[in-house]
Amino acid sequence: MCGRFALAATAEEVAALFGYLDAEDFPPRYNIAPTQPIAIVREEHHRRRFALARWGLVPAWVEDPKRFQLLINARTEGIATKPAFKNAIRYRRCLVPASGFYEWRRQGKSKQPFWVKPRDGGPIGFAGLWETWSDRDGGEIDSACIITTSANATVLPIHARMPVTIAPEDFDLWLTGETDAAMALLTPAPDDLLEAHPVSDRVNKADADDPGLLLPVADIKTDLFG
């Protein structure tokens, strides 16, 4: 699963990569947690648009979001038939800008957090789904989740799952392509795309949010295959 990620790139870097119309400004965030607002890029009237959505998908048919299971991730396996995702995968796909994500490797009775990021730096796009939930009074909640798949060779020594990353040349296909063609993109990232290093367990606290969270912890063994 993907339970924490970061978006430390500038607004200009994100806009340049994702090509949306909006001139949005936002601060760097180093420890984005479930239920918090996340940036998404979606297609509206044949244009890419920036939006904010709550991290934790709420399908339109849900009666009470407070009693509904928090869906921060959608597994690729069975995504086209599961009630929570089957409409969104056809009509409401989005990209989630990120600088990387955190994952935890179990070590005995404890878990060591790792920061996983692109080797070449810069932002990347996770595959996501979004929905708009409306209450009886007309209030609306935009929400989203991140799609996960089996881990590639880089992430597997840490965790069995990873977010699906969409290459920039496939952004249009993911956002607007036919469902089957878009779903063919839901595969592990190339093994040479990402790198990982251990970080401080301060990231476990959702209120921790500073650049130091991304720094490697020098005294922790970094040989993932050891």
What's the rounded Cα separation, in Å, for the pair 130 and 58?
Answer: 8
Is beta strand 73-75 parallel, antiparallel or unpaired with respect to 110-118? unpaired
Reference 88, options 49, 60, 67, 69; nearest CA is: 60
Catalytic annotation, pick one of 2, 43, 131, 145: 2
* Residue 197 to residue 214: CA distance in whole angstroms: 9
Tell me which amino acid residue 187 is: T
Residue in 43, 94, 103, 131 annotated catalytic: 103
CA atoms within 13 A on the CB side of 1: 11
Tell me whether residue 140 is one of the annotated catalytic residues.
Answer: no
Q: Is residue 2 flagged as an active site residue?
A: yes
Q: What amino acid positions are annotated as catalytic residues?
A: 2, 103
